[in-house]
Amino acid sequence: MAASRSSRLRWSGSAAARTLNVAKKRGPRLLSRATMAPQPPHLPGNMSTMPSPDVISFEHVSKQYDGVRTLDSVTLAVAEREFLAIVGTSGAGKTTLLRLINRLTDPSEGTVRVEGEDVRTLDPIALRRRIGYVFQNVGLFPHMTVAENIAITPRLLGWNVESRAARVDELLDLVRLDRARHRDRFPHQLSGGERQRVGVARALAARPHIVLMDEPFGALDPITRDGLGRDVRALHDELGLTSVMITHDALEAVLLADRIVVMRGGKVIADGTPHALLAGDADPYVRELMQTPRRQAERLHALIAGAGA
Amino acid sequence: MNSDLDARIGEALARLPDYLGGHVRVSMTALALGIALSVPLALVSIRRPAFRAIVLGLSSIVQTIPGLALLALFYPLLLGLAALSTRAFGVSFSALGFLPAVLALALYSLLPVLRNAVTGLTGIDPAIKEAALGVGMTRRQALLMVELPLALPVVMAGIRTAAVWVIGTATLSTPIGQTSLGNYIFAGLQTQNWVLVLFGCVAAALLALAVDQLLALIEGGFRVRRRGRIIAGTVGMALIVVGALAPGWSQPKARYLVGAKTFAEQYIIAALIEQRLQAAGLSAARREGLGSSVILDALAANELDVYVDYTGTIWANDLHRNDTKPRAELTAEVAQWLKERRGITLLGGLGFENAYALAMPKKRAEALGVRTIEDLARVAPQLAIAGDYEFFSRPEWAAIRAAYGLTFRTQRTMQPEFMYPAVASGDVDVVAGYTSEGRIAQYDLVVLEDTKHVIPPYDAVILLAPRDANDRALIDAVRPLVGAIDVELMRAASLRATSGSDDRSPDAVARWMWGEIARRKNAKP
């Protein structure tokens, strides 16, 4: 099982060639994906009785902290190999939703399933080790080198030193960091973008099927952000991951995700492909949210057209 | 002067292996124990705020207790425990010296380590802690792999503070019978040997500095991951410990321990007894600077073999009597009490009395027309009196005040060394001194007569531990001192030890004394 998975994830060719390859592919695919991506499976009422085909599912999940309801009966499913973006203002319950998946927190009501299994029946430690997590503030361990940070989950899983070292090199290539230059550095010696790349590498280290990302590009400058975003999407496709990414940036969500969930006040208020949501929604907040990237794109378009004329 | 200084430094250096060894042993054990206690306490308390508040509160309270008092409190506590354990399990342990000192110092080191560990562990960025759990660490792994390493610099800072405190405070373990660098300080203070005091202070400071720097080296090594630094620091610490302890291993343990309280006369007499034992071919050593309240219990518990106490002191402190009796009767009653209640043998008197006495400069006494304590009571409201740390809380003082109706304008507590210059310079008018003290003559003081016989007699008597009650060798070696020292000889010896002469170490003065005793014996047919 492990062997077949690792062979599936192995890259061929140099990092540079790969990047070119990805960049070439992305242009046309972006649009087509938005239109062609499968609609999220709408959950039938008998869902709780039969095992879900989805990789991640929430069934009427609510969460209360000290009497405050941060999640209010959320029902949501993420299909295999889907890239889901969760958008919403701060306090909408996005992070709570993400933390429920790997049991960093447990629901007050409802059921969370991962690969069909109720997470409450799973050991949280083992669960977390098979789910990649990119933290909002990167969350690299400041006293560990890049290599040690990346190899942490494999180390917890008991991989030997050689396979850990090999995996670190593989991942440094994957996130396009220089092996020799970055391996033995400490997080404070890296730039923000490099740190987040290490964060992504750490999340992927134990070859998870599922990757959760909590505003992974929030603190980065626009160029780094765009580059890293595209790389993450490429990795998602190449590795066949199921990804859930939180962002407050609608444009980022539109450009990267197969599907967007808009949250507000602990509820899901919209759920659809970028294309569908860009086309308009009944909810005024969602409309307003999706207007922004649209207006930006139109203005940009006009500018480019103007310059060309 | 120069040769005097050399001699005193030489004398101090000769005792360094013994004192430093004792100091390192007690302070390092206490520090290790303190760390072993406070780190787990900190770990337990990081997730339990109520428990944390209690533990930090208690250790703060411990910190406010003066070091000397904390050390002194542990002695009776352990004495009681030792008695209980002997009775209940047949296991006996020594309540003197090492054990109480280690426990008190360990308690003392608790706060800095605990507080820093708690600060370090609670101060970790919550995002890092979340990440530790998120990557799949168990609580224990998160603690060991992330939280403790990140808190290490702060924890180490606490350990370094504790190390410096413990090494400094360990100098105060001398009065409870733990040999330490404090022996220099206590002995030096009592015999006005400032070279000795300074030597003790500097040695303790250097030790503290060295340990602090080595710990800093180890900590830095961990932080920047230089194995070399960690090893260098650890080896340095090991060298200090081994180097300080090695001389102690090669030295055979003395069979007989001679006790001495914290004043010059006691140091001299202890040296004299030790010399007599050694002259008789017995192995003997001294335990000096023991607190008044500790020394009798130590003897009763066979922690000491022999020392000299004063009948009036035992009468007032241990028999809790505030009346007085004629000399012979009082001595007999004290001897009987010691034998029956504590198993201690009163071998005999040395031949002099060291009583508390109220004294004032001769000229001033004449001018005021004061000859007796009764006369003093008349003028006392205009006068200032100085006494040592003990005097004003002793039953004798209460008895004198009650009998004569004494009230002074002011009452000051001083170290005896400063009390006499103070009365000579007129800072105070009256001192509560000691009759055998050389300085009464030196400062031209007159002892005021106790016409109502309120102050009990204070005959210096040789006391033997219960286990030595029938030890012929010991008794034969010490007996020549019985009745051999009159008050003039003792005064002259005390004066020698606290001023002037070239070689004034207790050993030298004791040798001089023995010479005098022998000369007098030969003179008397």
Domains of chain A: 6-39+54-130+208-281 (3.40.50.300), 139-207 (no CATH)
DSSP B446: E
Disruptive mutation site among A98, A143, A184, A195 for chain B (greatest number of B CBs within 10 Å): A143
Question: Side chain identity at B317, as an amino acid letter?
Answer: N
- C-alpha distances (whole Å) from B448 to each of B374, B385, B418, B432 are 9, 13, 20, 10
Homologous superfamily of domain range B27-180: MetI-like (1.10.3720.10)
Task: Give the CA radius of gyration of chain A.
Answer: 20
Q: Is A133 in Cβ contact with B135 (below 8 Å)?
A: yes
Q: What residues of B are in contact with residue A157 (Cβ under 8 Å)?
A: 136
Of the listed ranges A157-171, B266-280, B406-420, the one predicted with least confidence: B406-420
Q: What residues of B are in contact with residue A128 (Cβ under 8 Å)?
A: 133-136
Q: Is B149 in Cβ contact with A202 (below 8 Å)?
A: no
What are B355-380's pLDDT values in tens digits? 888 999 988 899 888 999 989 988 88
**Long-range CB contacts (within 8 A, 24+) of B405-410:** B405/B377, B406/B373, B406/B376, B406/B377, B406/B380, B407/B380, B407/B381, B408/B380, B408/B381, B408/B383, B408/B384, B409/B380, B409/B381, B409/B382, B409/B383, B409/B384, B410/B384, B410/B385
A46 vs A200, residue with greater confidence: A200
**Token code pair at residue A28:** 């046309």
Going by C-alpha positions, the residue among A107, A19, A4, A12 that lies closest to residue A64 is A107
Q: Is B150 in Cβ contact with A128 (below 8 Å)?
A: no
pLDDT value, residue B90: 67
Give A28's pLDDT tier (boundaries 50, 70, 90): very low
What are B475-511's pLDDT values in tens digits? 999 999 999 898 889 988 888 887 655 567 888 889 9
pLDDT value, residue A218: 77
Helices (H), B123-181: 126-134, 139-141, 148-169
Disruptive mutation site among B133, B135, B222, B224 for chain A (greatest number of A CBs within 10 Å): B135
**Token code pair at residue B75:** 């002695």
What are A256-275's pLDDT values in tens digits? 999 999 999 899 999 999 98
* A 137-176 near B (Cβ less than 8 A): 137, 139-143, 152-153, 156-157
Residue with tokens 């007098």: B520
Give A16's pLDDT tier (boundaries 50, 70, 90): very low
Residue A263 bridge partners (DSSP) = A268
3 state SS of A282: coil
Q: Is B127 in Cβ contact with A141 (below 8 Å)?
A: no
pLDDT higher than threshold 60 for residue A111: yes
Q: Is A143 in Cβ contact with B150 (below 8 Å)?
A: yes
Q: Is A125 in Cβ contact with B128 (below 8 Å)?
A: no
Going by C-alpha positions, the residue among B299, B293, B315 that lies closest to residue B347 is B299
Residue A198 and residue A146 in contact, taking contact as beta carbons nearer than 8 Å:
yes
Is the dihedral angle over the CA atoms B141, B146, B151, B155 positive or is it negative? positive
- Select, from the ranges B76-90, B112-126, B389-403, the one with the highest average predicted confidence (pLDDT): B112-126
Q: What is the mean pLDDT of residues B449-470?
A: 89
What number is the ipTM of this complex?
A: 0.78
Residue A97 and residue A263 in contact, taking contact as beta carbons nearer than 8 Å:
yes
What mean pLDDT, rounded, does chain A reach? Answer: 81
A164 CB contacts (<8 Å, ≥6 apart)?
A151, A154, A155
pLDDT value, residue A7: 39
What whole-number distance in Å separates Cα of residue A19 and Cα of residue B65?
69
Residue B386 and residue B422 in contact, taking contact as beta carbons nearer than 8 Å:
yes
B149 CB contacts (<8 Å, ≥6 apart)?
A143, B222
**Token code pair at residue B287:** 């335990």
3 state SS of B483: coil
Residue with tokens 């070399």: B228
What whole-number distance in Å separates Cα of residue B114 and Cα of residue B41?
7
What whole-number distance in Å separates Cα of residue A220 and Cα of residue B257?
75
Burial (CB < 10 A; 0-12, 13-18, 19+), residue B352, is buried
pLDDT value, residue B501: 56
- C-alpha distances (whole Å) from B142 to each of A181, B182, B221, B387, B456 are 28, 44, 22, 60, 69
Q: What residues of B are in contact with residue A202 (Cβ under 8 Å)?
A: 135
What whole-number distance in Å separates Cα of residue B169 and Cα of residue B65?
12
pLDDT value, residue B2: 57
Q: What is the mean pLDDT of residues A108-123?
A: 92
What whole-number distance in Å separates Cα of residue A6 and Cα of residue A164?
13
What are B300-327's pLDDT values in tens digits? 888 889 999 999 889 888 888 878 888 8
Report the percentage of chain B scoring pLDDT > 90. Answer: 27
DSSP A132: E
Chain B interface residues facing chain A, Cβ-Cβ under 8 Å?
A: 125, 127-128, 130-138, 141, 145-146, 149-150
Of the listed ranges A26-35, B8-17, B239-248, the one predicted with least confidence: A26-35
What whole-number distance in Å separates Cα of residue B333 and Cα of residue B456?
13
Residue B462 and residue B348 in contact, taking contact as beta carbons nearer than 8 Å:
yes
A276 CB contacts (<8 Å, ≥6 apart)?
none
pLDDT higher than threshold 60 for residue B106: yes
Residue B250's φ and ψ, nearest 5 degrees, are -75, -20
pTM: 0.70
What whole-number distance in Å separates Cα of residue A100 and Cα of residue B500?
84
pLDDT higher than threshold 70 for residue A38: no
CATH class in words for B256-355+457-523: alpha beta
What whole-number distance in Å separates Cα of residue B463 and Cα of residue B348?
8
pLDDT value, residue B413: 87
Is the dihedral angle over the CA atoms B148, B153, B158, B164 positive or is it negative? positive
pLDDT higher than threshold 90 for residue B390: no
Q: What is the mean pLDDT of residues A8-20?
A: 40
Phi-psi group of B524: left, alpha or beta (phi > 0 → left; psi -120 to 50 → alpha; rest → beta): beta
In this structure, the number of other CB atoms found within 10 A of the CB of residue A225 comes to 19
- Select, from the ranges A293-302, B127-136, B238-247, the one with the highest average predicted confidence (pLDDT): B127-136
pLDDT higher than threshold 60 for residue A41: no
Burial B446-463 (b: 16+ CB within 10 A, else e): bebebeeebbbbbbbbbb
pLDDT value, residue A288: 86
CA atoms within 13 A on the CB side of B452: 14
What whole-number distance in Å separates Cα of residue B155 and Cα of residue B119?
8
- CATH code for residues B356-447: 3.40.190.120
pLDDT higher than threshold 90 for residue A150: yes
What are A176-210's pLDDT values in tens digits? 899 999 999 999 999 988 999 999 999 999 999 99
Q: What residues of A are in contact with residue B134 (Cβ under 8 Å)?
A: 102, 104, 128, 133, 135, 139
Sheet strands side by side (includes A131-134)? A131-134, A210-214, A242-247, A83-87, A259-264, A267-272
A223 vs A52, residue with greater confidence: A223
Give B204's pLDDT tier (boundaries 50, 70, 90): very high
pLDDT value, residue B10: 77
Q: What is the mean pLDDT of residues B235-260?
A: 79
3 state SS of A270: strand
Q: What residues of A are in contact with residue B135 (Cβ under 8 Å)?
A: 128-129, 133, 152-153, 156, 202
Residue B389 and residue B438 in contact, taking contact as beta carbons nearer than 8 Å:
no
How near does any CA of chain A get to the CA of B150, in Å? Answer: 7
**Long-range CB contacts (within 8 A, 24+) of A271-275:** A271/A40, A271/A76, A272/A39, A272/A40, A273/A34, A273/A35, A273/A37, A273/A39, A274/A34, A275/A34, A275/A35
pLDDT value, residue B22: 86
Residue with tokens 């003792």: B490
pLDDT higher than threshold 60 for residue A42: no
